[in-house]
Amino acid sequence: MTEFDGKVVLVTGAGRGIGKAIALAFAAEKSRVVITGRTAAALEEVAAEIRATGAEVLASSCDVTQKPQVNDLQHTIKTHFGAVQILVNNVGIAPAAGFLDMPDNLWDEVMRVNVSAAYNCCKTFLSAMIDARWGRVVNIASTVARVVYPGISAYATSKHAILGLTRSLAMETARSGVTVNAVCPGYVNTELTRENARRLAENRGKSLDEALAMLAASCPQRRLIEPEEVAYVTLMLASDRARGITGQAIQVDGGAVMA
């Protein structure tokens, strides 16, 4: 038996990358895991991996940027497992564009996916945690919630907003038994990072391997972070032993940002 045994965990954007690693990590602790995203086929692949561990899983397609769909998801989860006890807001996009060149609809999309989705899920699932006097919210942010770089104004703004939401909710729930924290990864070894590296390679006239090496070089450890490392910190923040940690942004970046 572990402290996560039977806990109901919702992970958004769980079809690949960090979200998948987090879902598998909770499954390994025998949690009842709900995975959601917009691509049903990817979710089913992750669900099959979770079932193979013997854990319970519910895969449910949902566009968490749409509040009515999140409300429907809440009803589905309640029918199958009960109230969500641990919420991991992971879904996100990271397009690169200079501010003056960026189309307005790209800004709107980044805010919708990276900020409004977390808002929708917190607004929907937080009340039950407060009523139960126990709950955990972990928002997957980024090191650019703490620092910024050229060409990512929309992404950086959205992740700063996530950190602001994290701290605001932590203050409002501080005496309720609920904690709200953010995990801020650096460059992680995922397809999203490879997509960014491909764009970097095209812009700089480099190969993909050279671009990935450039991203890795931004970390003092000279490597990409593995998704499982982010998952580990997420589990730690969701544990009872971390009940004194709230409103914090924990960097997982090999020392890239020290502040």
Can you give the C-alpha Rg of the chain in angstroms?
18
| Residues 119-130 pLDDT 10s | 999 999 999 999
Tell me whether residue 155 is one of the annotated catalytic residues.
yes
**Is pLDDT larger for residue 175 or for residue 200?**
175
For 193, the domain range is 188-224
Question: Is 250 within the bounds of a domain?
Answer: no
* Residue 1 reports pLDDT greater than 60: no
Question: Is 56 within the bounds of a domain?
Answer: yes
Choose the weakest-confidence range: 178-182, 218-222, 242-246.
218-222
* Residue 204 reports pLDDT greater than 70: yes
| CA dist., res. 51 & res. 48, Å (int) | 5
Residues 219 and 199 in one domain: yes
* Total tally of structural domains belonging to the chain: 2
| Residues 124-150 pLDDT 10s | 999 999 999 999 999 999 999 999 988
Question: Is 54 within the bounds of a domain?
Answer: yes
| Torsions phi, psi for 8 (to 5 deg) | -90, 115
Residues 155 and 212 in one domain: no
Question: Is 46 within the bounds of a domain?
Answer: yes
| CA dist., res. 61 & res. 43, Å (int) | 8
| Residues 150-191 pLDDT 10s | 889 999 999 999 999 999 999 999 999 999 999 999 999 998
Residues 173 and 202 in one domain: no
Residues 123 and 217 in one domain: no
Residues 54 and 172 in one domain: yes
* Residue 258 reports pLDDT greater than 90: no
Residues 173 and 239 in one domain: yes
Encoded amino acid at 182, one letter: A
154-172 burial, b if ≥16 CB within 10 A, otherwise e?
A: bbbbbbbbbbebbbebbee
pLDDT for 2 equals 82
| Residues 26-59 pLDDT 10s | 999 999 999 999 999 999 999 999 999 999 999 9
Residues 118 and 211 in one domain: no
What average pLDDT score do residues 80-104 get? Answer: 95
Of the residues 149, 155, 187, 232, only one is catalytic, namely 155
Residues 68 and 194 in one domain: no
